[in-house]
Amino acid sequence: MFMLVVALAFVTAVTSANGQSTKARASVPFDFIVGSETLPSGAYSVQSITSGGDVLRIQSSTSNDSAARLTMPAEGKSEQAKLVFHRYGQRYFLAEVWCGADAAGRKLMKSQQERAIEKENAQIARHGGPAATYERVEVLAALR
């Protein structure tokens, strides 16, 4: 009986934590990379799929395209819900997800491809060459 009560309490806690999960929608005007997946431009929803918000799922609103990525808390605050991308040349990497003033931002773990670009840029810069341009791009999102 005790185990049944503990199990029920656990399921209730997970359900209520998931009910408070990160949920946002955004229209991304360019193809972008999440982990090892390249997602086409379009409308996307972003939602945490763990109770602690450590894993985010990025799901296309119009197709079956999706990706999941491990995250960690982002530093700072944002008054607006937004997706933050790192741009190197014509490649965009989803880097952060912010869900407004009351929610902490989530920073996505960098992919192997993004780390390789950073390493290559550092080597080029050490040798005096022109590195690929880095830019931080923000796309506003709506909470749902």
* Beta carbons of 67 and 57 less than 8 angstroms apart: yes
Per-residue model confidence (pLDDT) at position 15: 39
Round to whole Å and give the CA distance between 18 and 25: 17
Per-residue model confidence (pLDDT) at position 121: 86
Question: Own/partner pairs for 69-73, CB < 8 Å, 24+ apart?
Answer: 69/34, 69/35, 69/94, 69/108, 69/109, 70/108, 70/109, 71/97, 71/106, 71/107, 71/108, 71/109, 72/106, 72/107, 72/109, 73/104, 73/105, 73/106, 73/107
Per-residue model confidence (pLDDT) at position 3: 42
* Beta carbons of 108 and 92 less than 8 angstroms apart: no
Please list the pLDDT of the chain residue by residue as tens digits (144 residues). 434 333 334 443 443 344 445 589 999 999 999 999 999 999 999 999 988 889 999 999 999 999 999 999 998 888 899 999 999 989 999 999 998 766 779 999 999 999 999 998 888 888 887 766 789 999 999 987
